[in-house]
Amino acid sequence: MITTNIDQAIDALINGEVIAIPTETVYGLAGNAFDEAAIKKIFTLKKRPFYNPLIVHIKSADYLHTIADDIPEIAFEMAKYFWPGPLTLILKKQKFISDFITAGKDTVAIRVPNHPVALELLNNLEFPLAAPSANPFGSISPTSANHVFNYFKKELKVVLDGGVCEKGLESTIVGFEENQLILYRHGSVSIEAIEAKFGKVILATSNDKTPTAPGMLSRHYAPSTDTYLTDNVIELLKNFEGKKIGLLLFNKAMNAANVIVQEVLSENSDLNEAAKGLYAALHRLDNSNVDIIIAERFPDKGLGKTINDRLERAIKK
Ligand code: AMP
Ligand code: MG
């Protein structure tokens, strides 16, 4: 059920239930991070393989040491600069943190969400919240309470409604190795914003069998409709004569035959606005009875990099 009743959400979490919560990135499927039964419920609901770790959401950077150990100084500095906000830090875990949260790794992912409802929740709880995005494994992330409800229906007793997510893309995930910043997932904080303040960020390498971060799986964030990504929409359209087509475009609508729906993400060419609307547009396209979705590649800078990363993982493989 969709509700704005925060007390109901608090009660459910204290009782070991899993609920959906709003954050500024996407909606999360949250449970008590110190309750292994609750954590297992998250995996079951999401049909998420156990090799995919979760993010631990804490109320402020002051609680970092309750989850992580041997925290490098730069992690505190980044936390101070970006939190509350869409940057997740990968740190050495405290011994007692459940292997289900970390997928057996000795590192744990942590962030402080920047959403008034999520923070109010955390401030009323005596435990942190473990949460992945509130979508079935591999599908498009939810950026509204309705998206979550449409995925889980009665399976979720509480979907706490905090409006449309302000950022609309998952958090950026960064770890630390020998004084080097490692990027595990592109996200709502651009690489440029991190590098301007903290120096060079190196991309983590991964393969599908042992993904360093599940967001790195080659197919993830995917609509059920076959999706293509291209630099030249007009050219690609020629391959699909007679098909019903949905377009996902950056800043301008197009005049073309067979195009049934078009989603233009930012007429002002604003990448933040495009990021915010990306998943909602994909949800609409996926539900619009088209045969295929064609997405245009975005400018390869700032959040355009994150949008392209998600579209790469949404395409037909
Ligand atoms: P979600 O945002 O729904 O994908 O769920 C949490 C994300 O956190 C996963 O996709 C992982 O990419 C990331 N994550 C959690 N723990 C770790 C870790 N120890 N190392 C790398 N990535 C992690
Ligand atoms: Mg996810």
Q: Domains in the chain, ordered, with CATH?
A: 2-203 (3.90.870.10), 226-314 (3.40.50.11030)
Q: Is the CB of residue 28 below 6 angstroms from any atom belonging to ligand 1?
A: no
User: Residues of the chain with pLDDT > 70: what percent?
Assistant: 96
What's the gap in Å between 28 CA and the centre of ligand 1?
12
What's the gap in Å between 20 CA and the centre of ligand 2?
13
Region for residue 179 given its phi and psi (left: phi exceeds 0; alpha: psi -120 to 50; beta: otherwise) = left
| Nearest residue (CA) to ligand 1, atom 23 | 213
- Lowest-pLDDT range, 62-76, 193-207, 208-222? 208-222
* Three-state secondary structure call for residue 198: helix
pLDDT bucket at 208, cuts 50 / 70 / 90: very low
User: In 94-148, which ranges are E strands?
Assistant: 107-111, 129-131
- pTM for the full predicted model: 0.95
Q: Tell me the longest C-alpha to C-alpha distance in the chain.
A: 60
pLDDT reading at 67 higher than 50: yes
> Which residues, including other chains, have CB under 8 Å from residue 20's CB and lie 6 or more apart?
27, 28, 29, 30, 134, 142, 145, 148, 152, 156, 158, 159, 160
pLDDT at 206: 65
Q: What is the enclosing helix (H) or strand (E) of 68?
A: strand 68-69
Q: Is the CB of residue 215 below 6 angstroms from any atom belonging to ligand 1?
A: yes
Distance between CA atoms of residues 171 and 25, nearest Å: 6
User: Residues of the chain with pLDDT > 90: what percent?
Assistant: 92
What does the pLDDT average to over 284-310?
Answer: 97
> Which ligand is closest in space to the CA of residue 140?
2
pLDDT reading at 165 higher than 50: yes
Q: Which atom of ligand 1 is nearest to the CA of 141?
A: 3
Contact 303, 187 (CB under 8 A): no
109/316: higher pLDDT: 109
Structure-block tokens of residue 269: 């060419």
pLDDT tens digits along 267-286? 999 999 999 999 999 999 99
Burial class (CB in 10 A: 0-12, 13-18, 19+), 136: middle
pLDDT tens digits along 39-59? 999 999 999 999 999 999 999
pLDDT at 217: 64
Q: Is the CB of residue 9 below 6 angstroms from any atom belonging to ligand 1?
A: no
Structure-block tokens of residue 191: 């690489």
Q: State the CB neighbour count (10 A cutoff) for residue 260.
A: 14
pLDDT reading at 209 higher than 50: no
By most ligand atoms within 8 Å of CB, the mutation choice from 52, 140, 174 for ligand 1 is 52
| Nearest residue (CA) to ligand 1, atom 12 | 213
pLDDT at 213: 59
Q: Is the CB of residue 55 below 6 angstroms from any atom belonging to ligand 1?
A: yes
Distance between CA atoms of residues 30 and 51, nearest Å: 18
Pairing mode of beta strands 19-21, 107-111: unpaired
Q: Which atom of ligand 1 is nearest to the CA of 135?
A: 3
Show the CA angle centred on residue 268, arms to residues 264 and 273, nearest 5°: 70
Mean model confidence pLDDT for the chain: 95
